[in-house]
Amino acid sequence: MNSTKRNMLILIVLLLLIAVLVITQLNRSSKVDRRYTIDANLQNLDEEIVLIEQVSREVLTHLQIDTNAVKNPLPAPPQRLPKSLRDPFIFPGELVAAQKASVAKKRTTPATAPKTAKKPPEPKREIRLAGIIYDKSNPMAIINGNIYRTADKIDEFTIETINEKGVLLVSSKERLFLEAPIIE
């Protein structure tokens, strides 16, 4: 009984080894077949490309079309561009700084101080609307480089409404409407 069990175990191990060898051989042959078919397909594609080039040259010569003209097409017609281009990757703070720098360069004569004895009123900070992010439930405005929502405060002003047309600011003294910037 002991020898029959041992013989059966040896037989099972041998069968497993044979099965593993057969599977690996089949796998190797299928890889070779795949490589062969890929190489053959690439070669067929190359031959088809050459044939298409030859036929197109024959057709062009038959139609008496200059083949160099096909290789060098006419330049694209001029495009109508907006008057001012805005770089979308410049943040509003950088844009304001760039605009202030260009304004400073444009001034060639120094500004003269007024000759009145009265003290000039304090200059108000400029409020500049850079953009609107409009959503009916949560509209936002980009003002002076910061994002504001309805009821937020900017200096003495409170934002009353934000819509597609602009932003309405209200203070105890005045109402100020900032129009949405025009994007061309």
- pLDDT tens for the 184 residues of the chain, in order: 678 888 888 888 888 888 888 888 777 766 656 666 777 888 888 888 888 888 888 877 777 665 555 555 566 667 666 666 666 666 666 666 666 655 544 444 455 555 555 655 655 678 999 999 988 899 999 999 999 999 999 989 999 999 999 999 999 999 999 999 887 6
pLDDT for res 81: 61
pLDDT for res 154: 92
Cα 64 to its chain centre, rounded Å, is 44
pLDDT for res 106: 46
pLDDT for res 107: 47
Domain ranges across the chain? 2-71, 126-184
Which phi-psi region, left, alpha or beta, contains residue 112 (left: φ > 0; alpha: ψ -120 to 50)?
beta
pLDDT for res 178: 93
pLDDT for res 116: 57
Assigned fold of 126-184:
SH3 type barrels. (2.30.30)
pLDDT for res 139: 94
- Spatial contact of 127 and 144, defined as CB atoms under 8 Å apart: yes
> The tokens 């405060």 sit on which residue?
153
Angle value at C-alpha 136, between 134 and 141, nearest 5 degrees: 30
pLDDT for res 108: 47
- Please give the Cα distance from 98 to 85 (Å, whole number): 14
CA distances from 110 to 104, 105, 115, 119, 120 (A): 10, 12, 15, 20, 18
What number of residues does the chain have?
Answer: 184
